[in-house]
Amino acid sequence: MTRILQSHIAGQWVGHEAAQTLHSAINGRAVAATHAEALDFGAAVDQARRVGVPALMAMDFQERAQRLKALAKLLLEHKEALYAVSAHTGATRADGWIDIEGGSGTLFAYASVGSNELPSGNVVHEGPVIALGKQGGFAATHILVPRGGVAVHINAFNFPVWGLLEKFAPSFLAGMPCIGKPATATSYLTEAAVRIMLDSGLLPPGALQLVIGGTGDLFDRLDGADVVTFTGSADTAAKLRVHPNLVRQSIPFNAEADSLNCAILADDVNPDDEEFELFVREVAREMTTKAGQKCTAIRRAIVPRKHLDVVAEKLRVRLAKTVVGDPAVDGVRMGALASKAQQADVAERVAQLSKCADIVFGERDGFAPRGEGVAGGAFFSPTLLACRQPMQHDAVHDIEAFGPVSTLMPYDGLDEALALARRGKGSLVGTLVTKSPAVAARMIPQLAAWHGRFLVLDRVAAVESTGHGSPLPMLKHGGPGRAGGGEELGGVRAVRHYLQRAAIQGSPTMLAAVTGEHVRGAQLVETEVHPFRRYFEDLQIGESLLTHRRTVSEADIVAFGGISGDYFYMHFDEIAAKESAFGKRIAHGYFVLSAAAGLFVSPGVGPVLANYGLDTLRFVKPVGIGDTIQARLTAKRKTDRNRRDAAGVGQGVVAWDVEVTNQLGELVASYDILTLVAKRG
């Protein structure tokens, strides 16, 4: 009996009556069926707002980051079960790795982003603080806060797990409950992953809901606190972004659309160069990985006209060695398209492209998928075309065959190569293969205007390159124009997309209270206890120490020069120093830092365990011989990462604001120091 997929809406699994049957891409047999029951999207949105938002806001960035890490480990523990389901989508083990373990890796990456780059609490201070008055009593800054709405994520069929998780991770971290809607064709794999996540109990109630089938009136129920993201075709993106309610409510809509990505072989590369082989390998890999069903795949291979035939022949040889069939059969390196419908769509588009391009390699070249029952599958031959006059034909720059298909196109001169790249009207990613830094410096700034990401590939980068088509959690994924004009991933940038930015004005004390960070000019907390003697839990933001003073002598400068080996003329050459803008010998900047540390450090054993860095260091004014310096140390920010050392002692991170002033009260050095501080219990 065919399994009926279920939606998870308003805390309940919904679906008992079969509707559309979903077939295996390998042999055409029934895998699952969507459910026939209509969904109550009013209840879904209500659950997200009434239950999901408060549950997520009861946690902070750090706690949500830890939950993402736990979910990543959970999915890895169940990866073999997911691989078994993934096989029905036509994916090889390597394809499934990108989707399943790549999805888990994205959760791990955003757990790290939250832990290392976001504060405790639910307010991100996006400084710097700007003084708005002359007396220091009025200032402004920016903060980012959770939106209080729901994130609706509409995903494509090609990556049923990664596609959901790369959107879920940053929105969950930002405190937004999610409603995920996978593409129907491969939704059985998304449902399997979501069941694992929900059954674990790691997700707060209402944090994640799943829609199998259409979105009905969901868009009509959203408001300005919500966000919609979409991955899929450019045509569908164009229709969704003008939905009347999205426009009326100014609901953010982020699109990541399929694009005609290019790879350019620069004219400084010759057939006997290693880079030439790198180009051929990259194009062939992008054609066959996931059977070419990647929004980042190379659709246009732009090569010098003098090398067109050589590139074509080398690609023919590589593609002829690609074994297509059931991934369960030994030796198979490329699986099927996701569905028969996708197979028909790719065939139609190849037919359109062949009107202005020759087929260099395709089905006629011995295409014979391996495996039992593959005649009922959705297999498609790797297909390479060549358009010899690409500037004269629009179709090769407009029509995308979303499968193992790429078109070679020659150019005469780098300016024409740039023009061909622009004809794609905006792409997610491109690759430039060159040996010349000068060529890269000339071309990349122009190519960047039309691409979200660009790989510059040579023999040095190739050793560690993740490849043309691999979106990485730390790098922006998205592109202009046809590619949708949106942005996903990009490290902490993705989290910020799901937060609301606001400018805040007020006194420094009020700004400090709102941001949860000390702001210079705010009320200080001064006690008889040195701040370095406080355990993490006991330390207050704004707790401060004004140190004793120290007069800088010539002996200090000479001694520091001897210890450091820094004999820069401004410290030792009396004549040259007098002729400089400072008009005198000055102390080393790093001596000032060292002397300030000597003023504020509490030397005995205590809760402060380690100093692991300086941020925002600036030397504001010079310190000369005879100047007297003083330091103020203030607890600026506390971040509880919920970690313990090997002995089980809890730790937190404290950022300290340091102001070093001279005898006139002028600021001479300014910076933050970061310390690891022990907890009491």
- pLDDT band per the 50, 70, 90 thresholds, residue 136: confident
Which entry of 295, 400, 488, 659 is annotated as an active-site residue?
295
pLDDT in tens, 600-612: 998 888 899 888 8
Instruction: Give dist(CA 537, CA 85) in Å, integer.
Output: 47
Ranges of CATH 3.40.309.10 domains, the chain: 261-474
pLDDT reading at 3 higher than 80: yes
Residue intervals in the chain for CATH 3.10.129.10: 524-678
pLDDT tens, position by position, 310-329: 999 999 999 999 999 999 99
Determine contact, residues 164/153, Cβ cutoff 8 Å.
Answer: yes
- What's the average model confidence in pLDDT over 229-238? 90
Question: How many Cβ atoms from other residues are within 10 Å of residue 127's Cβ?
Answer: 13
Q: Which of 174-178, 264-268, 369-373, 433-437 comes out lowest in average pLDDT?
A: 369-373
Quick one: pLDDT band at residue 1, thresholds 50, 70, 90? low
Q: How confident is the model at residue 645 (pLDDT cuts 50, 70, 90)?
A: confident
pLDDT at 437: 96
| pLDDT tens readout for residues 401-431 | 999 999 999 999 999 999 999 999 999 999 9
User: What mean pLDDT value characterizes the chain?
Assistant: 94
**Buried-exposed string 242-273: b where 16+ CB fall within 10 A, e elsewhere:** ebeebeebebbbbbbbbbbbbbbbbbebeeeb
pLDDT digits (tens, 9 = 90+) for 94-117: 999 999 999 999 999 999 999 999
Q: Which of 256, 286, 488, 543 is catalytic?
A: 256
- Mean pLDDT of all residues in 460-468: 92
What are the respective helix, strand and coil percentages of the chain, to the nearest 5?
A: 35, 25, 35
Q: What is the pLDDT of residue 193?
A: 96
In 3D space, the residue among 520, 526, 527, 515 whose CA is nearest the CA of residue 638 turns out to be 515
* Residue 566 pLDDT class (50, 70, 90 cuts): very high
**400 is a catalytic site residue:** no
Distance of alpha carbon 425 from alpha carbon 451, whole angstroms:
9
Sign of the CA dihedral running 666, 671, 676, 677: positive
The answer to whether 91 and 327 have CB atoms below 8 angstroms apart is: yes
CB atoms near residue 124 (< 10 Å): 22
Task: Tell which residue, 382, 426, 376, has the closest CA to residue 403.
Answer: 382
State mean pLDDT over 421-450: 96
Q: Which whole number is the average pLDDT over 3-16?
A: 94
Coil, helix or strand for 31?
strand
Q: Is the pLDDT of residue 134 over 90?
A: no
Count of helix runs (H) and strand runs (E) in the chain: 23, 28
The CATH number for 524-678, chosen from 3.40.50.300, 3.10.129.10, 1.25.40.10, 1.10.1740.10, is: 3.10.129.10
Residue range(s) of every CATH 3.40.605.10 domain in the chain: 41-258
**Is 127 a residue whose pLDDT tops 90?**
no
Question: Is 256 one of the catalytic residues?
Answer: yes
Cα separation of 369 and 388, whole Å?
Answer: 30
pLDDT category at 438 given cuts 50, 70, 90 is very high
pLDDT band at 644 (very low <50, low <70, confident <90, very high): confident
CATH pick for 261-474 out of 3.40.309.10, 3.50.50.60, 3.40.50.11890, 3.40.190.10: 3.40.309.10
Report whether pLDDT(260) > 90: yes
Tell me which fold the domain 41-258 belongs to: Aldehyde Dehydrogenase; Chain A, domain 1 (3.40.605)
Say yes or no to pLDDT of 198 above 70.
Answer: yes
Cα angle: 87, vertex 88, 94; to 5 degrees: 25
| Structure tokens given for 468 | 């043309």
